[in-house]
């Protein structure tokens, strides 16, 4: 199940990259190395450990969870060390 979520997340990232190339306009400037990278939750008070997130340049995020299909949403950079969901 986890492998399927990771593969789905990677596929979503690959499919969106071609579209993003034409529309690369970030809302703000997050630090280098933050975008287009897979992030895994190690500890969480919500208990969502092992979830994986990819924050895309165009303000989209992809969440791959061990208990379901990948989810998509919007995010924006609001300052140092902070990303927020829209």
pLDDT at 63: 92
Give domain limits for the chain: 2-77
| Mean pLDDT of the chain, nearest integer | 73
Quote the CA–CA distance of 58 and 45 in Å, as a whole number.
28
Kindly report the pTM of this predicted structure. Answer: 0.56
Of the two residues 77 and 18, the one the predictor is more confident about is 77
Of the two residues 84 and 30, the one the predictor is more confident about is 30
pLDDT tens per residue, range 60-86: 999 998 888 889 999 988 865 555 555
């Amino acid at each position: 199940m986890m492998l399927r979520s990771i593969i789905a997340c990677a596929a979503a990232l690959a499919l969106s990259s071609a579209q993003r190339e034409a529309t690369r306009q970030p809302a703000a400037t997050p630090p280098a190395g933050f975008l287009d990278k897979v992030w895994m939750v190690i500890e969480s008070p919500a208990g969502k450990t092992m979830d994986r997130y990819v924050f895309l340049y165009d303000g989209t995020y992809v969440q791959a969870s061990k208990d379901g299909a990948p989810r998509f949403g919007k995010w924006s950079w609001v300052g140092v060390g902070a990303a927020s969901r829209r």
